[in-house]
Copies of this chain bind each other. A is one copy, B any other.
Amino acid sequence: MIGMRRFIFIFVASVIAPTFAFAGLLEDAKDTFAPLPEKPVFKAGNPGNPEKLELGKMLYFETRLSKSNVFSCNSCHNLAGGGVDNNTLSTGHQWKVGGRNAPTVWNAALHISQFWDGRARDVEAQAQGPILADVEMAATKELVMARLLSIPEYVERFSRAFAGQKKPMNYENIANAIGAFERTLLTPSRFDKFLKGDESALTAREKKGLRTFMDSGCAGCHNGVVVGGGSYQQFGVVNTPENLTDKGRFGVTGDKDDMHVFKVPSLRNITLTYPYFSDGNVWDLGEVVRIMGWTQLGAKLTDEEVGDILAFFDSLMGDLPDIVLPKLPASGKSTPKPDRG
């Protein structure tokens, strides 16, 4: 039988010691990260009125924004999951494949820019891209405008969503409505509760992982409100990754300092947004942590460290908001037909 003195020792060791072990953790975390905003942050000049948010949701699920009427935003940024398609590369028009792994739409509006290479300044700018991309939705501005203008309900909805504008129905406003909707896609997690002062929101293992995550240097880039998404960094700053062919932000700026530079991905909901890296070739999150430790920090993380960090990632799994499917209006007689060619 266990003796009373030994019992007291174990009790003290298991209850009191972790409290000491995590002394200062919350303060350090607050210096490094920030909780998600309570409400969506809309872009100046593109306020998120309810009419616009509903229109944006409709357009997000609107397959008529693709040439074939097969794909919508939600095809690759699936709100029934991690806001991604969980494929290495995305499938688009005529079974073509995209060039990079689809990033998540959850909390995307809080990144400093959009796309892996940051070539769009915000979600409103981003939303203009895939509709026109040959390997994605393969439409033209003229085609999607002709489709939407032929549907009286859309004409009315754009008028209400962009009330006061002379010509509310235009290509930029398609993206403005989608972008405004995307700004509502926030996923607060237990980590936010922790950052707001609830130290019981994380388990001991998760706290240990958070400590490791900060102390080993991961939080040097993966920090701020979305635990990443706030800066551009070279992939392979210490050690060169295997099979890295993507030139990253060099393709945007042409600056050789931007070779293999990417926007740092957010780690919120990271357990749902596999596979990983811009090429989508790594499926195991532990392997990702190991690779990042080696290439970015020159550290060979131990199994325990990796396990602790993965535990911390669990606390970043957010509450995905309920998304009610929109009810899309019928096409009219003059609506341009789908074209698979």
Q: Are A274 and B333 in contact (CB under 8 A)?
A: no
Q: Are B284 and A333 in contact (CB under 8 A)?
A: yes
Given contacts A87-B338, A95-B95, A324-B325, 19 further A-B pairs with CB under 8 A are A61-B80, A63-B85, A68-B87, A69-B85, A70-B75, A70-B85, A79-B325, A80-B326, A81-B327, A81-B328, A86-B331, A86-B338, A97-B340, A272-B330, A274-B330, A274-B331, A320-B327, A322-B325, A325-B325
Q: Which residues of chain B come closer than 8 Å to A80, judged between CB atoms?
A: 61, 325-328
Q: A63-B85, A85-B63 are in contact. Are A271 and B330 (CB under 8 A)?
A: yes
Q: Which residue of B lies closest to A328 (CB)?
A: B81
Q: Which residues of chain B come closer than 8 Å to A274, judged between CB atoms?
A: 330-331
Q: Which residue of B lies closest to A78 (CB)?
A: B63
Chain A 53-84 near chain B by CB (<8 Å), digits 1 or 0 = 00000000101000011100001001111100
CB distance from A341 to the nearest CB of B (A): 11
Q: A91-B68, A337-B283, A338-B87 are in contact. Are A323 and B320 (CB under 8 A)?
A: no
CA distance A277 to B2 in the complex (A): 79
